[in-house]
């Protein structure tokens, strides 16, 4: 609670000053956002998924579209299952990516400082095919969280052993629990409203410029900038404002 009050105070202070820096927000990642000229904007989620995953993407798309500032629509994927990033949209993929430790990965490419120009979501069937993770709850939570990252959202909480906060943006050992972490909560929608409160003069949504990308291995993700036992965040800086942020949720 103390942290939230502090963050609210910082946001208020920033609002009364100038917007020369990104607005401080309690679980925005760096103030990064899609540039767009009006709200609500519609972000395309490319479906590169096998049949067993499609309903989970539908749920995540519909959950996040409850936000007042953005809508998502599921379209035919343009990546093969390597999940190459497509500029101006998000590509969502599943595959048996191997015993590399990660359950899910979300990456966002930044091409002009703070503006997101593409996103990818990958879910690793190597783990989702095991009895621990092959449950509707784990699939729902991880898909919701990874798609949430592609809007610029960070985690609300990275301690997986405390009580669930009731949002998919919270690490947990059990997505069900007394309070389930299967869907966004009101704080996520509030955060999106904060991140997307201003409008931009240009748009990165639906654009077709080249975007920087990273691969499936840790070696390609750059510097680790946040760490907890259940997940890490990496930043690879390509120079001239081009970066890729990668959010990893590790299998236990
Ligand atoms: Zn902007
Ligand atoms: Zn995450």
Packing angle, helices 136-149 and 51-64, rounded to 10: 50
Q: Which ligand is nearest to the CA of 21?
A: 1
Q: Residue 247: nearest ligand to its CA?
A: 2
Q: Is residue 10 part of a domain?
A: no
| For residue 116, pLDDT beyond 80 | yes
Kindly state whether residue 50 falls inside one of the protein's structural domains.
Answer: yes
**Chain mean position to CA 12:** 25
Cα 113 vs. chain centroid, distance in angstroms? 18
What is the Å distance from ligand 1's center to 55 Cα?
32
Residue 192 located in a structural domain: yes
What average pLDDT score do residues 58-86 get?
A: 94
Q: Report pLDDT for 81.
A: 64
Q: Residue length, the chain?
A: 252
Determine, yes or no, domain membership for 6: no
Q: Is 9 part of a structural domain of the chain?
A: no
Q: What is the distance in A from the centroid of ligand 1 to the CA of 207?
A: 15
**Secondary structure class of 34 (helix, strand, coil):** strand
pLDDT per residue over 136-189, tens digit each?
999 999 999 999 999 999 999 988 888 999 999 999 999 998 899 999 999 999
Residue 113 burial by Cβ neighbours in a 10 Å radius (0-12, 13-18, 19+): middle
Q: Pick the more confident residue, 78 or 16.
A: 78
Are the beta carbons of 64 and 43 closer than 8 angstroms?
no
Ligand nearest to the CA of 205: 1
Q: Which ligand is nearest to the CA of 143?
A: 2
Q: What confidence tens digit (pLDDT) does each residue in 210-237 have?
A: 788 899 999 999 999 999 988 999 999 9
How far is residue 116's CA from residue 108's CA, in Å, rounded to a whole number?
6
Three-state secondary structure call for residue 231? strand
- C-alpha of residue 65 to centroid of ligand 1, in Å: 20
Within 8 A by CB and 6+ apart from 107, the residues are 85, 119, 120, 213, 214, 244, 245, 246, 247
pLDDT at 161: 87
Range of the domain at 244: 31-250
Adjacent-strand bridge partners of 246: 107, 234
List the one residue out of 49, 22, 132, 69 whose CA is nearest residue 59: 49
pLDDT at 195 over 80: yes
Residue 20 lies in a domain: no
Ligand 2 center from residue 188 Cα (angstroms): 13
46-61 pLDDT per residue, tens:
999 999 999 999 999 9
| Contacts of residue 102, Cβ cutoff 8 Å, sequence gap at least 6 | 124, 248, 249, 250, 251
Ligand nearest to the CA of 147: 2
According to DSSP, the residues that pair with 106 across neighbouring strands are 121, 247
- Residues 111-136 have a mean pLDDT of 94
Find the helix or strand (DSSP H, E) in which 64 lies.
helix 51-64
Ligand nearest to the CA of 36: 1
Strands 90-95 and 115-124: parallel
- Reported as a single tens digit per residue, the pLDDT across 1-24 is 344 444 444 444 444 333 333 333
97: domain CATH number?
3.40.390.10
Residue 111 has a pLDDT of 80
Q: What separation in Å is there between the alpha carbon of 239 and the centre of ligand 2? A: 25
DSSP β-ladder status, 231-239 and 242-250: antiparallel
Ligand 2 centre to CA of 218 (Å) is 15
139 contacts 103 by C-beta, under 8 angstroms: no
Residue 159 counted as domain residue? yes
**CA–centroid distance, residue 201 to ligand 2 (Å):** 30
Q: Is residue 22 part of a domain?
A: no
Tell me the CA–centroid distance for residue 34 and ligand 1, in Å. Answer: 7
For residue 192, how far is its CA from the centre of ligand 1 (angstroms)?
Answer: 13
Distance CA 235, CA 67 (A): 27
Whole-angstrom distance, CA of residue 208 vs CA of residue 210? 7
* Ligand of minimum distance to the alpha carbon of 112: 1
Give the closest ligand to the alpha carbon of residue 34.
1
Q: How many domains does the chain have?
A: 1
């Amino acid at each position: 609670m103390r942290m939230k009050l502090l963050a609210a105070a910082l946001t208020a202070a920033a609002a009364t000053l100038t917007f020369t820096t990104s607005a401080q927000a309690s679980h925005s990642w760096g103030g990064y956002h899609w540039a767009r000229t009006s709200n609500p904007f519609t972000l395309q989620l490319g479906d590169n998924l096998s049949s067993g995953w499609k309903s989970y993407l539908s749920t995540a798309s519909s959950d996040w579209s409850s936000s007042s500032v953005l809508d998502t629509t599921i379209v035919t994927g343009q990546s093969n299952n390597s999940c190459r990033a497509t500029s101006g949209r998000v590509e969502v993929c599943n595959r048996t990516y191997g015993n590399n430790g990660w359950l899910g990965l979300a990456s966002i490419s930044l091409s002009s400082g703070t503006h997101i120009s593409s996103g990818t979501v990958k879910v690793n069937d190597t783990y989702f095919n095991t009895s621990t993770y092959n449950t509707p709850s784990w699939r729902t939570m991880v898909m919701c969280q990874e798609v949430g990252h592609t809007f610029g959202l960070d985690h609300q909480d990275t301690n997986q052993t405390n009580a669930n906060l009731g949002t998919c943006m919270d690490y947990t050992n059990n997505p069900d629990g007394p309070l389930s972490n299967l869907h966004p909560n009101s704080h996520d929608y509030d955060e999106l409203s904060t991140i997307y409160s201003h409008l931009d003069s240009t748009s990165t949504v639906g654009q077709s410029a080249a975007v920087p990308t990273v691969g499936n291995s840790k070696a390609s993700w750059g510097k680790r900038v946040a760490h907890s036992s259940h997940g890490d965040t990496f930043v690879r800086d390509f120079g001239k404002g081009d970066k890729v942020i990668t959010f990893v949720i590790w299998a236990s």
